[in-house]
Structure 1
Amino acid sequence: MRRLALPARTARLRFTALYGSLFLLSGAGLLVITNLFGLAAVGNSRAVPGQVRPSGQAALAAAERHIMALQAELEGLHAAQARQLLLGSLLALGVMAVVSVALGRTVAGRVLRPLRTITATTRRISADNLHERLAVPGPADEVKALADTIDGLLERLETSFAAQRRFVANASHELRTPLATMRASLDVAVAKPGPVPAQTVALAGRLRAELDQVDRLLEGFLTLARNQHGDLPGREAVSLGDVVSGGLAARAADIARRNLAVDAGDVGGDAWTLGSRTLLSRMADNVIDNAVTHNRDGGWIRVSATAGHATARLVVETGGPVLAQEQVALLAEPFRRLGADRTGSDRGSGLGLSIVASIAAAHGGTLDLYARPEGGLRVTVTLPLATERAGVPA
């Protein structure tokens, strides 16, 4: 049999039980005291017959019989009154129980109303509206102290986020300029007339590769920072199948060089989502790049983009050695890599899947990493499914 679902043990439920119990105990105590005083008054009201001194024996016997009859009748009345008083007390106690629960729930609701307001307002505040404050009115009590503390925390967060936004806005120009200057200097040095030593050409090539790696790392930093602030330029309906096909086409040379077998037969055209085409393309490129880079020569990649009831899913699977799920779950964190024992090299900056996770989160989705029992990795990106109202073609 299915167990009955118990109500959640909320603060209001606990306060209701507490106040209801107090009201009920108070009512029960009042009824007990009333019954005790009532019974005492009834006991004291029993009449004691006086000593009758009749003149004859027959009259005395008749008087005693009459007194006994009166006493029996009086005791019956007292018993009926006691039963009626007990029944009325039990009925009043039942009414008090219902009233106590209702009063307890009402009082608990009024006590917790400011906390519910604080909770609702805090949930509504995000990185885009950190300027809002709770501003709870009222006396300087514990609730207002809590609200003022949260307002102070929001102010510090707003200051911190503003500083990070300024850094993101300035970092691109300030850091790319010296990189471009260094790259131009290398080109000038190699392009000078006259024979260039082979060591110089080799050194220039190595430096260009390192500069390209720094440039990619910088781009990853900036993308990660923008996504964490929820910057989504140009929201539109985007087909996951299109961005996946574009990512596979962009890595066709690398796929052919490593002799990888790609199965993209389940890339449908009905997996649409709302968001930035640029960021979603970057997300698909990173997932595919991760599958190509961290794979064995002659391995395989399986890609699918499908639509569910309310979600669009991008799944990329690869073969390889058996991985530990505990380590795989950490790959979405920046600079997390499993090492050369998995990839055969130390390529990559460790930002690829963390950027995928941040882009998915910025679009209201999730990234799930699963170590396949037979070996390899399954990467699943789940995003909200776009509807026809959003401009998706039928």
Structure 2
Amino acid sequence: MKTHPPKKRPVKQKRRITLRARLTLIYGGLFFAAGIVLLGVTHVLFAQQLDRGGDLSVHSDSSGDASSGRDAPSDSLTWVADEQKRLHDAATASLITQGGIALTLVGGVAAGFGWLIAGRVLAPLHRVTDTARRIASAPAAGRGLHERIALDGRDDEVKDLADSFDLMVEQLDRSFDGQRRFVANASHELRTPLTVGRALVELAMHRTTASPDVKRLGEDLLAINDRHERLINGLLLLAGSENHVPERQSVDLADMVTHVTAQSTPEAEKAGITLYEEADQAPTTGDALLLERIVQNLVENGIRHNSGDGGWVRVTSRTLEDGRAEVEVSNTGPEVPPYEVPTLFEPFRRLGTERLVTAKGAGLGLSIVRSVARAHGGNVTARPRPDGGLTVTVTLPHHGRIPPRG
């Protein structure tokens, strides 16, 4: 019975405060702090001035009464002190209340202007971010590198950042363009001599004067030539499979499983391996030839790297609960250490062998599977079977849903 790993709960991303909001808070906070300090200093100076004026008034009144020879009534001094305290408290309250209101209003206006100014200052950074996001979300690597920021304006740190970004993108564009030209030229330059060599060998083998030794040599040369052709075709497909899939059409992986199984049955029977097919509906979208190549590579890999007579390969297609399409290929074979599984997806890598091309294949099967799956927005996982062999699972997006790249 197959067990599925527990589903991971989506991690909620914390709401972040934008740089514009942080700058506004900093501007506003500094303004309010400076305003509170200014209001406090004003209050202290105002209170000192009031106290000094009151003392002078009382002292003057006391001197006048003494010079006239009469003692000032105690209630008059008390009344003057009370009036002085009342005026001091009223002036202080008025200063704090009205000053606080004025500080709040002016601080709000300052924060608003700070928000607008921060937006103007950060506008070039938004332009850099938008351009980088468009390039990163391009449907294939290297397809959006023609865009440039081309930021105009004053020569400052932001313009230096934009110019450095444009320079980096330009260099990447040249690199990808050179890679595309190399693949196009290699497709012709590498296939042509192999085709000519195959034709010459077949011509020599089919001559009436050809000896048995020549025919055996021709068969060996044709086998070597065929192995080289598979290697070159695999390399070219691996180089081009990560490109954008321009035309997507609705396909059912079940049809591909049935077709590939029927084609691979003679090869499996010749190797003494039984093919099992469980083709349930698994609709998805993509390039039909590339998706068929996924199933074909997995089946061929299961047949070639098997235990021989009595072995089996099981090909299954299904639709998951969330609507994604899945194809799974399991096979018997030698035991696969878990730590060796990630290296099997590297080019020219096979279990227990060096990076050499052998008669069993070029070591590109699983690399091509992973590359094609990623080009379609899917993913590939592999796990060793307890009794030996491997189980490879390819999961593709829901029918009609194309996830963004990146």
Which AA in structure 2 matches 1:230?
H
8 Å contact 2:348–2:364 — kept in the other structure?
yes
8 A contact 1:339–1:346 mirrored in 2: no
- Counting only pairs closer than 5 Å after superposition, residues 355-374 of structure 1 correspond to structure 2 as 355-371=368-384
Deviation at 1:121, TM superposition (A): 1.5
Q: Is the 8 A contact 2:251 2:284 kept in 1?
A: yes
Question: Secondary structure of 2:147's match?
Answer: coil
Deviations 1:214-260 (A, max 9, x none): 1011111211222233254x532111111122222221123334444
Instruction: Please say if residues 301 and 319 of structure 1, whose CA atoms lie closer than 8 Å, have aligned partners that are also in contact.
Output: no
SS at match of 2:316: strand
Residue aligning to 1:219: 233
Name the CA shift for 1:197/1:275 in 2 (closer, same or farther; >3 Å).
same
Gaps of 5+ in 2: 1-11, 402-406
Indicate how the Cα distance of structure 1 residues 129 and 97 shifts in structure 2: closer, same or farther if over 3 A, else same: same
Q: Which residue of 1 aligns with 2:35?
A: 27
Checking the alignment, whether the CA contact within 8 Å between 1:20 and 1:97 is kept in structure 2 is yes
Q: 1:135 aligns with which of 108, 129, 150?
A: 150
Residues 136 and 371 of structure 1, relative CA distance in 2, 3 Å threshold = farther
Cα 1:121/1:319, change in 2 over 3 Å: same
For each residue in 1:128-179, what CA deviation from the matched residue of structure 2 results, as whole angstroms up to 9, or x when unmatched?
3433222222122222222222222222233232322222223222222211
TM-score normalised to the size of structure 2? 0.79
Query: Alpha-carbon deviations, 1:263-286, whole Å to 9, x = none?
Result: 533x322x2222221111112211
1:112 to 116, 122, 140: 122
Pair 1:148–1:13, CA change in 2 (3 A): same
Structure 1 residues 105-114 or 320-329, which shifts more?
Answer: 320-329
> Residue 349 of structure 1 aligns with which residue?
362
- The residue type equivalent to 2:220 in the other structure is R
Q: Where do 5+ consecutive residues of structure 1 fail to align?
A: 389-394
Matched, 1:204 2:215: no
State the shift of 1:71 in Å. 0.4
Does the residue aligned with 1:46 lie in a helix, a strand or coil? helix
User: Aligned residue for 1:273?
Assistant: 284
Distance in 2, matches of 1:231 and 1:144, equals 35
Give the alignment partner of residue 161 of structure 1, picking from 176, 180, 205.
176
Q: For 1:12-61, what per-residue CA distance to the aligned partner results, in whole angstroms no more than 9, with x for missing partners?
A: 4543443343333333333233323332333333243221336998x625
Match of residue 41, structure 1, among 38, 44, 49:
49
In 2 relative to 1, CA 336–103 (structure 1 residues): closer, same or farther, beyond 3 Å? Answer: farther
CA distance in 2, matches of 1:9, 1:319: 54
Question: Following the alignment from structure 1 to structure 2, what is the Cα–Cα distance between the partners of residues 381 and 34?
Answer: 74
Is the deviation greater in 132-141 or in 371-380? 371-380
Matches within 5 A, 1:76-115: 76-87=86-97, 104-115=114-125
Amino acid in the other structure paired with 1:275: G
Residue 262 (structure 1) shift: 4.5
Q: Structure 1 stretch 368-377 or stretch 245-254: which is displaced more?
A: 368-377
1:304-349, Cα deviation, whole Å (9 max, x unpaired): 23255353222333455654555323433322333259xxx88332
Q: Which amino acid in 1 is paired with 2:378?
A: G
Does the CA contact (< 8 Å) of 2:237 and 2:368 recur in 1?
yes
Which residue is 1:392 aligned to?
Answer: none
AA paired with 2:280?
G
1:147 equivalent to 2:162? Answer: yes
% identical equivalent positions: 37
Does the aligned pair in 1 maintain the 2:245–2:287 contact within 8 Å? no
State the distance in 2 between where 1:5 and 1:158 align.
Answer: 33
Name the aligned partner's letter for residue 182 of structure 2. Answer: F
Q: CA deviation at 1:7?
A: 2.9
Q: Which moved more, 1:223-232 or 1:316-325?
A: 316-325
d(CA) in 2 for partners of 1:378, 1:99: 66
| Residues 140 and 253 of structure 1, relative CA distance in 2, 3 Å threshold | same
User: Alpha carbon RMSD of aligned pairs, Å?
Assistant: 3.4
| 2:301 paired residue number | 290
Structure 1 residue 372, shift from structure 2 partner = 5.5
1:358-377 superposed Cα distances (whole Å, 9 cap, x missing partner): 22222233333345577643
Residue from 52, 62, 68 that aligns with 2:78: 68
Return closer, same or farther for 1:140/1:66 CA change in 2, 3 Å cut-off. same
Give the number of equivalent residue pairs.
Answer: 377
Q: Aligned-pair distance for 1:300? A: 4.4
CA contact (8 A) 1:21 1:100 kept: no
Q: AA paired with 1:288?
A: V
